[in-house]
């Protein structure tokens, strides 16, 4: 399979076509799409000596549409892949978060005998720190009115 056909198959999986591509290049400059298409029509995967598949494309290549981009990524087996990324939809729900990291929060100041403070301690000490967790913790902080964040 040529890289061109590979690109077409990725686009079609996401209900896109070449017409949806706005530009090709990298974060510093763009190139002519036609020259890129001409190159990838001639080339397919290159099997490296170690058995991995290489696309023989620049690692910082970006293929960009209005609501997506495709980039070269190397998987855990060291194969090169074209990976489709979509721009996330902006959520309509708005939340107030007071905590974005545990670095400025002294967990040892929490009273673990207090239900809410113990819950906050356990959540922040879990290691799964993401935005949803910090939202939950911000709500707990509001309940117990901790000043020291």
Query: How would you label 122-137 residue by residue, b for 16+ Cβ within 10 Å and e otherwise?
Result: eebeeeebeeeebebb
Query: Considering the entire predicted model, what is its pTM?
Result: 0.65
pLDDT tens sequence across 71-92: 988 766 666 788 999 988 888 8
Q: What DSSP letter does each residue of 23-63 carry, written as one string?
A: EEE-SS-EE-HHHHHHHHHH-B-EE-TTS-EE--S-TT-EE
pLDDT at 53 over 90: no
The residue with greater pLDDT, 57 or 145, is 57
Enclosing H/E stretch for 70 = strand 68-74
Q: How many residues does the chain have?
A: 149
The residue with greater pLDDT, 93 or 131, is 93
Q: Over range 123-147, report the average pLDDT.
A: 70
Please report how the helices 115-124 and 131-144 are oriented relative to each other, as an axis angle in degrees rounded to 10.
160
How far is Cα 4 from Cα 39, in angstroms, rounded to an integer?
8
Of all residues in the chain, what percent carry a pLDDT higher than 90?
A: 36
Q: Give the bridge partners for 80, in sequence order.
A: 74
């Amino acid at each position: 399979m040529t890289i061109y056909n590979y690109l077409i198959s990725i686009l079609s999986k996401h209900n896109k076509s070449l017409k949806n591509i706005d530009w090709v290049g990298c974060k510093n400059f763009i190139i002519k799409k036609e020259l890129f298409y001409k190159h990838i029509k001639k080339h397919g995967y290159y099997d490296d000596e170690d058995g991995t598949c290489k696309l023989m494309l620049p690692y910082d290549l970006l293929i960009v549409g209005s609501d997506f981009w495709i980039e070269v990524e190397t998987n855990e087996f060291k194969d090169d892949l074209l990976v489709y990324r979509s721009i996330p939809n902006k959520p309509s729900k708005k939340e107030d978060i007071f905590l974005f990291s545990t670095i400025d929060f002294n967990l040892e100041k929490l009273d673990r005998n207090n239900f809410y403070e113990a819950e906050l301690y356990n959540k922040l000490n879990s290691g799964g720190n993401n935005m949803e967790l910090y939202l939950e913790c911000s709500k707990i902080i509001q309940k117990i009115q901790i000043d020291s964040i």
